[in-house]
Amino acid sequence: MKPDSSTAEKDWKYVEYLIIDEIFIVGLRLLARLNELLTLGKRAPPEVPFGGINIILFDDYIQYMPVLDKPLYANLERRSSTCLPTEADVQYGVGHSETTLADFDYLCTRIIGLGQAVQSVEEKPWCNAPILVFRNQLRTEINNRAAVDKAKVANIPLVVVVARDKIRSKIAHGDVMYEHLLHLPDNKAELLPGLLHFVPDMPVLLTDNIACELRLSNGTQGIFRELEYDDQEDFGSLKVKSDVFPSNTIYTPRKPLYAPVEINRVWGWVYQALNIHPNPHPQENATIGGINGEGGVN
């Protein structure tokens, strides 16, 4: 990025907003050079940051370190003999599976809400907060544990829909085959899990941008209600041995058709997009989403 008077003025003359995504890869040196370029392009005084252009930053600062540059953040905490462990110490322990109850209590003190600190992460809505992980296998294990706990609290058996895998273009049948496919890791199944476990009223996340204007996009949270199957196909319950799920788990190879999902606070956006009159009971949820039998989202 080499500032040039004529080129910079031509490129940035009419720009009022600049959006920078993946801000964690931007370092101090790169940001300073960007400020120099924008100041030159706008012919602005040096004391005006970025030539007066509004800068909008996306992503977080500490995901990865910038390459050959200093990061935009600094750790303001300093270790001493009387200081509590810092976040860096706790993260190091988590990465090496060396966490303690003291680490858990410390992290609870770092979670803040509106007006006061959260007393416990076991309280709502914090207990239903999404967890971001780097590995698909870890994501699957966390989802398994969450489904088991949800079924236990609701006092109902967990229903697991196994994948309808094919061998030589034919759908595989047999408990032994299903049990083998069920325990394959994601990296051995083209990053697709071999099962779908559902419990009524469990929280779910959309993973596709269905209708961004209606706020139905990747990351939107909803509540799963029930799973509808193809009534024309019923192979009964499978006898699968698993160390992950409890003994009363119901394994079914039935073909799922769709899964209604309720999403809060979308009515106003739906009315605006469809130009219809609002519901007299706007506090009610909207059942607008579902998973079809092919794995897509309706």
DSSP state of 216: B
Give the CB-side neighbour count of residue 51, counting CA atoms within 13 A: 23
**Cβ-based neighbours of 221, under 8 Å, separated by 6 or more:** 130, 203, 204, 205, 206, 263
Pairing, β 228-229 against β 256-258? antiparallel
pLDDT in tens, 206-245: 877 787 767 777 778 888 888 888 766 555 666 766 777 8
Give residue 41's region: left, alpha or beta (phi > 0; psi -120 to 50): alpha
CB under 8 Å to 70, separation ≥6 — which residues? 27, 28, 29
* Residues listed for the chain: 298
CA dist., res. 144 & res. 164, Å (int): 19
Hey, what are 63's tokens? Answer: 């995901």
pLDDT attached to residue 120? 63
Q: What's the pTM value of the predicted model, to 2 decimals? A: 0.48
Q: What is the pLDDT of residues 155-186, one digit of tens each?
A: 888 888 877 666 666 665 666 666 666 667 66
**108-154 pLDDT tens trace:** 666 655 555 566 666 676 676 777 777 777 887 888 888 888 888 88
